[in-house]
Amino acid sequence: GENVEQHPSTLSVQEGDSAVIKCTYSDSASNYFPWYKQELGKRPQLIIDIRSNVGEKKDQRIAVTLNKTAKHFSLHITETQPEDSAVYFCAAIPPATDSWGKFQFGAGTQVVVTP
């Protein structure tokens, strides 16, 4: 099955600086890579995703890059703000076949943005 590793586990940045979180995956068949943001006590919410036919996707201050050959993908947050403080999870999802049901999330990265 799929195995996803996420680094770092914690990340402290000064407001205005950039933050980068990296994930690696093991199943080369995985073709969908979402990123979730979870604020304290709240549900995880999708912030950006990328499919394997795309190398990069950007949405305002956040972007995701995918390297299929190396089997890793990264979340980039630019011009960080205090409201970016949260736990971020990555995931790697296989195609919608019989084995698709069991998703694998990374362990999460606690991002702290200090003013």
Partner 1 sequence: DGGITQSPKYLFRKEGQNVTLSCEQNLNHDAMYWYRQDPGQGLRLIYYSQIVNDFQKGDIAEGYSVSREKKESFPLTVTSAQKNPTAFYLCASTPKLQGGEQYFGPGTRLTVT
Asked if 73 touches partner 1 (CB under 8 A), the answer is no
Do residues 106 and 5 lie in contact, with contact meaning Cβ atoms separated by under 8 Å? yes
Nearest alpha-carbon partner for 25 in 9, 50, 49, 1: 1
Asked if 21 touches partner 1 (CB under 8 A), the answer is no
The amino acid at 79: E
Three-point CA angle 39, 58, 96, nearest 5°: 80
Nearest alpha-carbon partner for 23 in 90, 70, 87: 90
| CB 43, min distance to partner 1, A | 4
| The binder of partner 1 chosen from 77, 89, 111, 113 (CB under 8 A) | 89
Asked if 32 touches partner 1 (CB under 8 A), the answer is yes
Q: How many residues bind partner 1 (CB under 8 A)?
A: 23
Asked if 27 touches partner 1 (CB under 8 A), the answer is no
Asked if 62 touches partner 1 (CB under 8 A), the answer is no
Reading the block at residue 96, the tokens are: 């919608």
Point out which residues bind partner 1 (CB under 8 A).
Answer: 32, 34, 41-46, 49, 89, 91, 93, 95-96, 100-103, 105-108, 110
